[in-house]
A and B are shown apart, each in its own frame.
Chain A
Amino acid sequence: MFEAFWYALPILVQDIFVFLGLLVPLAITGIICLFGYRVWPLIAGLLRKHTAISATFVLLIATSVGISVGLIAQERGLREGTARAADKFDLIIAAPGSEITAMLAAVYLQPTALPLIDGATYARIESHELVDLAAPLAFGDSWEGVPVVGTTPPFVDHLSEGLRAGRVFETMEEAVAGANTPLQVGDVVEPVHGDGSDDFSEHGHPYTIVGKMNRTGSPWDNAILVAVESVWDVHAMPTGHGPDWDGTLGGPFDPSQFAGTPAVLVRAEQLWANYSLQSEFNTAETMALFPGNVLAQLHALMGDIRQVMSVLAVATQVLVAVAVLAGLSMLSRILARRMALLRALGAPRRFVFAVTWTFATVLICLGALLGIVFGVIATAVLSMVITALTDILVQARLAWPEMHLVAGFVSTVAVLSLYPAYRASRRSLLDDLRS
């Protein structure tokens, strides 16, 4: 009954309920502690009197909360960023082997030597009635560390959805540059074989940049795209077309002149057609994979790591809170004389208890709020760094899971603060007055 009701609620409402639910222990403890007392003027006075020490506690808690929520948000941002980078790669067909290796090579342009798909197989893919777009992805060369990939003009249109500048390559001497490359239309590049690190050999085939792609948020932003025919040509292989070829780049290719490609991007308009093609091309000769699917499996594996991270984040926060509470115990000794005076004036023990607990809880709540601000800043900085390092656009934002973590933290520590408050209320009145 409750389950049905719960699942019928919009996810936002569920998140809000969980958030409020996690704050219930704080609210109940607060109501019980403060019932009948007006402690706020005293708390404000204490905060003013002990600004430096209060600020230190708040900063300590804020840093701990900020790092924890920042890391968790970053992990989610990275997951979404890697998935978004794979959005344009509906189906990849490669020679049988490791799906992860093929995905890393095709989507994230990690240099890998993959076996080649032959002309007959490519022709079967290209001519399949369900295929709307098939493009070879021939990687291996590079220019100053920037991967150079041989493909077809329709793939450039598919990836970039229109160009930021210029046009798509039309001859074997032209190239299109990714958004993050330092290249502009009119520049000339001369790629080398491999990544240029060890087997350095120039191909003696310069390309003129004729277009620049839009930002895709993927490592393809730092790549140069050229005609696959030119990649075959510079490696002294057939260009994929027969003797009657008029020079128009792209498919259909002549199977007998097809030099091979490590991967083929396949796109069908309909999702069902993509899955049908995947089942058809998962054979002894070819492997068909959805990068999104492989990533989801990887992310599921990482789910365990995520849970460990969450536990570690909570544990770190709680340990910082313990340190803060230990500090508060000391603070309560500093406050002891004032409290003793209050009690001498007739305030009951429970009032001292309420003041100490409220003081601790106010510091924790302020720290948690500031921690959220720190988390937002940490997330933005980390996202920029990761995007710059990987070319994968990471847009991490704090969301409900982080808010739940903070709410859980605040409630837990508020309940734990009862102990130092209790200790403060049990101090010897006479000793404290004499001190």
Chain B
Amino acid sequence: MRLFIAALFSLIAFAAVANEQDHGHDDHDDHAGEAHADSEHKATLGDVTLLHAWAAETEGSVVFVYVEIDNEGDAPITLLGAEADIAGTVDLVGFQSKDGVASYAPLPMLPIASGAELTLAPNAVAFRMTDVTTHLHEGDDFEIHIIFDAGEVAIMAQVEPEGATQHRHAGHNH
């Protein structure tokens, strides 16, 4: 019986450890010691600044990409979508909750008013890449072309750990 109970507790302990490993380790204080050029995190299109494009590591072929967009110009600009070489399709999607069930719905466009900031983030607006051919690991980066009515701009997106909720440099202005 003792052996039996011991085996049982090891099973529970194993389940707990496995559960722990499922959690991503968000590491947002990792700024020191890294020397990324600004250009890697930032892109501009006229008066529009894009900052901190990122995605969370995943084993699936669907990857959500997030970025901060700041329209410092005098005119509104409309976000239309994006393209990426590593993905079959990229859709601009918005989080919605209907009858208590959360989902992402495609957005045909998203106007950003003059002086407004739009932060693409989990459970909000995102680019949804489908048919991603490359397995993305933490620390990888990939190029994504973001399309506005005023033109297109490329930015490197950083792959953050699985379960991350923001870019590791979120809050830094560069």
Contact = CB atoms under 8 A, between A and B. Distances in A.
A271 B97 contact: no
B109 interface: yes
A412 to B, nearest CB: 8
Chain B interface, DSSP helix/strand/loop, else mixed: mixed
A272 interface: yes
B163 to A, nearest CB: 9
A318 interface: yes
Given A311-B15, A329-B1, A296 B123 contact: yes
Interface string B97-119: 11111100101111111011111
B95 A81 contact: no
Nearest to B105: A271
A276 B8 contact: no
A308 B97 CA distance: 25
A158 to B, nearest CB: 15
B11 interface: yes
Given A3-B60, A292-B95, A325 B108 contact: no
A218 B7 CA distance: 47
A318 B61 contact: no
A108 interface: no
Contacts of A325: 4
Interface stretch (B16-24, B49-57, B82-90): B16-24
Interface string A66-94: 00000000000001111110110000000
A4 B61 contact: yes
Nearest to A86: B97
List the 3 shortest-distance A-B pairs measured between CB atoms, nearest first. Answer: A80-B100, A292-B97, A84-B100
B107 A271 contact: yes
B75 interface: no
A311 B21 CA distance: 14
Contacts of B3: 419
B155 interface: no
B37 interface: no
Given A83-B100, A293-B123, A276 B1 contact: no
Contacts of A283: 115-116
A297 interface: yes
B32 interface: no
Contact of A307 (B22, B96, B98, B122): B22
B94 interface: yes
A7 B60 contact: yes
Interface residues on B, range: 35 or more
A419 B4 contact: yes
A271 B94 contact: yes
B95 A293 contact: yes
29 contacts: A3-B60, A7-B60, A81-B100, A84-B99, A84-B100, A87-B98, A87-B100, A130-B111, A271-B96, A272-B107, A272-B109, A272-B111, A275-B110, A275-B125, A279-B117, A283-B115, A290-B124, A292-B102, A293-B124, A296-B95, A296-B123, A300-B123, A304-B23, A314-B12, A318-B11, A318-B12, A322-B5, A416-B4, A419-B4
Nearest to B94: A271
Given A80-B101, A86-B97, A293-B95, 17 more contacts: A3-B60, A80-B100, A272-B109, A275-B107, A276-B111, A276-B112, A279-B118, A280-B112, A280-B116, A290-B95, A292-B97, A293-B123, A296-B97, A296-B102, A296-B123, A318-B8, A420-B4
B61 A311 contact: no
Interface string B59-98: 1110000000000000000000000000000000011111
Interface string A271-287: 11011100110110000
B60 to A, nearest CB: 7
Nearest to B117: A279
A130 B97 CA distance: 20
Contacts of A296: 95, 97, 102, 123
Given A271-B96, A293-B123, A322-B5, A276 B113 contact: yes
A424 to B, nearest CB: 13
A403 interface: no
Contacts of A272: 94, 107-111
A369 B123 CA distance: 37
Contacts of B16: 311
B113 A280 contact: yes
A325 B3 CA distance: 13
Contact of B112 (A271, A274, A279, A318): A279
Contacts of B108: 272
A274 B98 CA distance: 15
Contacts of A412: 11
B44 interface: no
A295 interface: yes
A80 B115 CA distance: 36
Interface in B96-154: 96-102, 105, 107-113, 115-119, 122-125
A326 interface: yes
